[in-house]
Chains A and B, each alone.
Chain A
Amino acid sequence: MKNLLIALLLTLFCTFASPLFAFDDDENTLAEAYGDEEFIYIATGRKQTVSQAPAVASIISAKTIRQMGARDIDEVLETVPGLHVSYAAGGYNPIYQIRGISSNVNSQVLMLINGIPVTNIFAGDRSQAWGGMPIENISRIEVIRGPGSAIYGADAFAGTINIITKNSTEIDGLEIGASAGSFDEYRGWLQYGGDISGWNTAFSAQILDTHGQHEKVSSDLQTGLDSFFTTSASKAPGSVNLGRQSLDTRIDITKDKWQIRAGYQGRRNVEVGAGLFQALDPSGEADADRYNADVSYHNTDFVKNWDLKAQYSFFNTITQSDLVLLPPGTNTGAGVFANGAIAEPDVYERHNRIDLSAFYTGLIDHDIRVGAGFHHQDQYKIEEKRNFNTLLFMGAPVLVPLGSVVDVSDTAPFNQEETRKVFYGFVQDAWDFAPDWTLTAGLRYDHYSDFGSTINPRLALVWQSSYRLTSKLLYGRSFRAPSFAEQFNINNPVAIGNPNLDPETIDTYEMAFDYAASESLKIGFNVFYYKMEDIIRFNPTTANNTGSQTGHGLEMEVSWKASDRLAINGNYAYQASEDDDSNSDAADAPQQQLYLRANYQLNNVWSINSQLNHVRDRKRAAGDLRPEIDDYTVVDLTLRAKEFAPGFEFAISAKNLFDETVKEPSLAPGLIPDDLPQAGRGIFVELRKSIN
Chain B
Amino acid sequence: MSLNIKEDKPRFMCRNKILKTLLLAIVINMTALADDVLLANPNYNITVFYPELRKPYSTFFEAIIDGIKENTNGKVILKPISKSMQPSDIARSLDEQKPDAAILLGGGIKSLSSNLNGPYKLVYGASFFSNKDIQSGLSGISITPDPGLLFSELKKLSSTIKYIHVVYHPSSNGWLVKKARKNATTLGIRLVEHPVESTQQAATAYLKIAQMENHAQTALWLLQHDPTLDEKSLLPKILADAWQYEQLVISSNPSHVKRGALLSLLPDNNRLGRDLAKKTIRILNGQQGKIEPMQSTLMALNIRTAKHLSLTITPSQESRFTLIFPRKNNK
- Are B107 and A464 within 8 A (Cβ)? no
Residue of B nearest to A643 (CB): B54
Instruction: List 15 A–B pairs whose Cβ atoms lie within 8 Å, in order of A's numbering.
Output: A24-B53, A25-B108, A27-B53, A29-B107, A32-B253, A35-B258, A35-B259, A36-B255, A37-B56, A37-B57, A45-B59, A362-B315, A464-B308, A467-B243, A519-B235
Give complex CA distance A234, B202 in Å. 78
Verify A35–B330 contact, CB threshold 8 A.
Answer: no
Q: Which residue of A lies closest to B126 (CB)?
A: A29
Which 10 pairs show the lowest CB-CB distances between chains A and B?
Answer: A35-B255, A467-B243, A25-B108, A51-B329, A29-B107, A50-B328, A361-B315, A26-B51, A26-B106, A467-B240
Known: A464-B304, A467-B243. 7 other contacts (CB 8 A): A29-B143, A32-B253, A34-B254, A37-B57, A40-B59, A435-B308, A436-B307
A28-58 with Cβ < 8 A to chain B:
28-30, 32-37, 39-46, 48, 50-51, 54-55, 57
B175 at interface (Cβ–Cβ under 8 A)? Answer: no
Task: Assess whether A30 is in contact with B225, with CB atoms less than 8 Å apart.
Answer: no
Q: Which residue of B lies closest to A46 (CB)?
A: B56
CB neighbours (8 Å) of A430 from chain B are 331
Min CB distance A397 to B, Å, is 47
Chain B positions within 8 Å of A172 at CB level: 55
Q: Does A438 sit at the interface, judged by CB under 8 A?
A: yes
Min CB gap B271→A, angstroms: 14
Q: Is the CB of A40 within 8 A of B60?
A: yes
- Mask: chain B, 65-88; 1 = CB below 8 Å from A; 0 = not: 000000000000000000100000
A447-472 near B? 1/0 per residue, CB < 8 Å: 00000000000000010101110100
Q: How far is the CB of B216 from chain A (nearest CB, A)?
A: 14
Q: Is B63 positioned at the interface, with any CB of A under 8 Å from its CB?
A: yes
Complex: how many Å from CA A514 to CA B327?
A: 13
Which chain A residue has the least Cβ–Cβ distance from B318? A361
Does A542 sit within 8 A of B, measured CB to CB? Answer: no
* Chain A residues in 8 Å Cβ range of B54: 27, 604, 642-643
From known contacts A39-B258, A55-B329, infer whether A432 and B307 are also in contact, taking CB-CB under 8 Å. Answer: yes
A357 to B259, CA, bound (A): 32
Contact of B56 among A29, A40, A54 (CB under 8 A): A40
Verify if A305 is at the interface (C-beta below 8 Å from B). Answer: yes
* A364, CB-defined interface residue at 8 Å: yes
B244 at the interface (CB under 8 A from A): yes
B contact residues, range:
35 or more
- Which residues in window 302-331 of B have CB below 8 A to A? 304, 307-310, 312, 314-315, 318-319, 323, 327-331
Shortest Cβ distance from residue A44 to the other chain B in the assembled complex, whole angstroms = 5
Q: Tell whether, in the assembled complex, residue B307 and residue A468 are in contact, meaning their CB atoms are under 8 Å apart.
A: no
Nearest-Cβ distance from residue B250 to partner chain A, whole angstroms: 16
Chain A: how many interface residues by the 8 Å CB criterion?
Answer: 52
With an 8 A cutoff between CB atoms, is B6 at the interface? no
Looking at A26, A40, A438, the one whose CB has the most chain B CB atoms below 10 A away is: A26
Interface check B127, CB cutoff 8 A: yes
A364 to B306, CA, bound (A): 13
Residue B163 is within 8 A (CB to CB) of chain A in the complex: no
Asked whether B199 is an interface residue with its Cβ less than 8 Å from the other chain, the reply is: no
- Complex CA–CA separation, A96 to B309 (angstroms): 42
Q: Which residues of A contact B314 (CB under 8 A)?
A: 364
Cα(A27)–Cα(B83), bound, Å? 12
User: For chain B residues 240-289, which have a beta carbon within 8 Å of chain A?
Assistant: 240, 242-244, 253-256, 258-260, 266-267, 269
B106 neighbours in A (Cβ, 8 Å) = 25-26, 29
A48-B225 CB under 8 A given contacts A33-B253, A34-B254, A39-B255: no
B188 CB–A CB distance under 8 Å: no
CB within 8 Å for A33 and B224 given contacts A26-B51, A41-B56: yes
Instruction: Judge whether B331 and A364 touch: CB under 8 Å.
Output: no
Q: Is B120 an interface residue (CB 8 A)?
A: no
B175 to chain A, nearest CB (A): 17
Task: Please state if A43 and B254 are interface contacts (CB–CB under 8 Å).
Answer: yes
User: A57, B254: Cβ atoms under 8 Å?
Assistant: no
For residue A438, which residue of chain B has the nearest CB? B331
The CA-CA distance from A643 to B63 in the complex, in Å, is 21
Residues of chain A contacted by B48 (CB below 8 angstroms) = none
B244: A residues at CB distance < 8 A: 467
Pairwise interchain contact B224-A50, C-beta atoms closer than 8 A: no
Known: A39-B255, A40-B60, A41-B56. A26 touches B107 (CB 8 A): yes
A30 B308 Cβ-Cβ under 8 A = no
- Complex CA gap A300/B319 in Å reads 10
The answer to whether B42 has its CB under 8 Å from any CB of chain A is: no
> With A43-B266, A305-B315 as given contacts, are A32 and B56 in contact (CB-CB < 8 Å)?
no
Please, which residues of chain B bring their CB within 8 A of the CB of A27?
A: 53-54, 57
Most buried by A among B232, B309, B329: B329
Cβ of A518 under 8 Å from chain B: yes
Nearest Cβ on chain B to A50's Cβ, whole angstroms: 4
Residue of B nearest to A42 (CB): B323
- Of B60, B224, B312, which one neighbours A364 at CB under 8 angstroms? B312
> Smallest CB–CB gap between A305 and chain B, Å?
6
Closest chain-A Cβ to B274's Cβ sits at a distance in Å of 17
- CB closest chain-A residue, reference B315: A361
Nearest CB of chain A from residue B25's CB, rounded to whole Å: 35
Residues of B within 8 A of A361 (CB): 315, 318
> Known interface pairs A25-B107, A364-B312. Does A470 touch B330 (Cβ–Cβ under 8 Å)?
yes
Residues of B within 8 A of A364 (CB): 312, 314
State in angstroms the CA–CA spacing of A24 and B269 once bound together: 20
Of B224, B244, B255, B312, most buried by chain A (CB within 10 Å of CB) is B255
Given the known A-B contacts A32-B225, A48-B327, A435-B308, are A24 and B253 also in contact in the complex, defined by CB atoms under 8 Å?
no
A164 to chain B, nearest CB (A): 13
Do A40 and B323 contact each other (CB < 8 Å), given the known contacts A435-B310, A519-B232? no
CA separation between A165 and B267, bound complex, in Å?
Answer: 28
Contacts of A57 in B (CB 8 A): 329
CB distance from B210 to the nearest CB of A (A): 12
Asked if residues B51 and A34 are in contact (CB atoms below 8 Å), the reply is: no
Contacts of B128 in A (CB 8 A): 29, 32-33
How distant is the Cα of A26 from the Cα of B51 in the complex, in angstroms?
Answer: 7
Q: Does B236 make an interface contact (CB < 8 A)? A: yes
Bound complex: CA A227 to CA B224 (Å): 78
| B239 on interface, CB distance cutoff 8 Å | yes
Is B236 a contact of A519 with CB atoms below 8 Å?
yes
A640, chain B: closest CB distance, angstroms? 13
- Tell whether, in the assembled complex, residue A24 and residue B243 are in contact, meaning their CB atoms are under 8 Å apart: no
Residues of A within 8 A of B309 (CB): 435
Q: Is the CB of B236 within 8 A of A35?
A: no
Residues of A within 8 A of B231 (CB): 519
Given contacts A430-B331, A518-B236, contact A30 B253 (CB under 8 A): no
Bound: A59/B327 CA distance, A: 12
